[in-house]
């Protein structure tokens, strides 16, 4: 989708910077498994506090929605040639089945198309087997939603400072 990605210096596994700047993501324990050009893979480790159906031990649906929304947002950020703020315009989540009780949740999103002002994303959530997702999503994100600098811009500037001064 692009020849150069603004956040390329931050691509790779375990880049929790992509979720740590969002208080809700920190609160539910979200972690970043991997990020790269136009994609993101995030996880939420199972915790009893996240259960919405105590009888079955199933995680609250809002946690799944948050996982897929954040994965879609990160995939969008990872598709950009210049960092800008984004906002979710539309997010549709289809629940295919309940996630297994006690399982960690993993969400993957891919930004498959971007225009000047909107990014288009597909994603899925699974509980151990990506070939057997328990939820899928389709989403759109507005680009340049806020005139403020994106929180990842500071991190990128810090990371690139030694390269620019040398």
pLDDT tens string, the chain, 166 residues long: the values are: 556 999 999 999 999 999 998 999 999 999 999 999 999 999 999 999 999 988 888 898 999 999 999 999 999 999 999 999 999 999 999 999 999 999 999 999 999 999 999 999 999 999 999 999 999 999 999 998 877 777 788 777 777 766 656 5
Residue 76 lies inside a defined structural domain of this protein: yes
Domain count, the chain: 1
Residue 3 lies in a domain: no
In a domain, 2, yes or no: no
In a domain, 36, yes or no: yes
Residue 24 included in any domain: yes
Tell me, what CATH number does 87's domain have? 3.10.129.10
Distance of CA 150 to the CA centre of its chain: 15
Q: What is the pLDDT of residues 100-131, one digit of tens each?
A: 999 999 999 999 999 999 999 999 999 999 99
Domain assignment of residue 58, given as a range: 8-165
Q: What is the pTM (predicted TM-score) of this model?
A: 0.90
Whether 86 is covered by a domain: the verdict is: yes
* 1 located within any domain: no
Helix extents (H) in the chain = 17-20, 23-27, 61-77, 151-165
Longest dimension (CA), the chain: 59
Residue 37 maps to a domain: yes
Task: Measure the CA–CA gap between 125 and 105, rounded to whole angstroms.
Answer: 7
């Amino acid at each position: 989708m692009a020849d150069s990605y603004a956040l390329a210096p931050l691509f790779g596994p375990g880049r929790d910077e992509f979720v740590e700047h969002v208080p809700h993501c920190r609160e539910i324990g979200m972690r970043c498994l991997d990020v790269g050009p136009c994609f993101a893979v995030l996880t939420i480790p199972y915790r009893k506090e996240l259960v919405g159906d105590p009888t079955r031990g199933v995680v609250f649906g809002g946690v799944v929605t948050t996982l897929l929304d954040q994965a879609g947002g990160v995939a969008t950020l990872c598709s950009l040639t210049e960092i800008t703020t984004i906002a979710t315009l539309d997010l549709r989540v289809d629940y295919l089945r309940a996630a297994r009780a006690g399982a960690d949740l993993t969400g993957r999103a891919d930004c498959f198309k971007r225009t000047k002002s909107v990014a288009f994303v597909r994603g899925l959530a699974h509980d151990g087997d990506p070939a057997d997702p328990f939820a899928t999503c389709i989403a759109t994100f507005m680009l340049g939603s806020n005139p403020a600098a994106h929180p990842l811009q500071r991190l990128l500037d810090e990371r690139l400072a030694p390269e620019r001064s040398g």
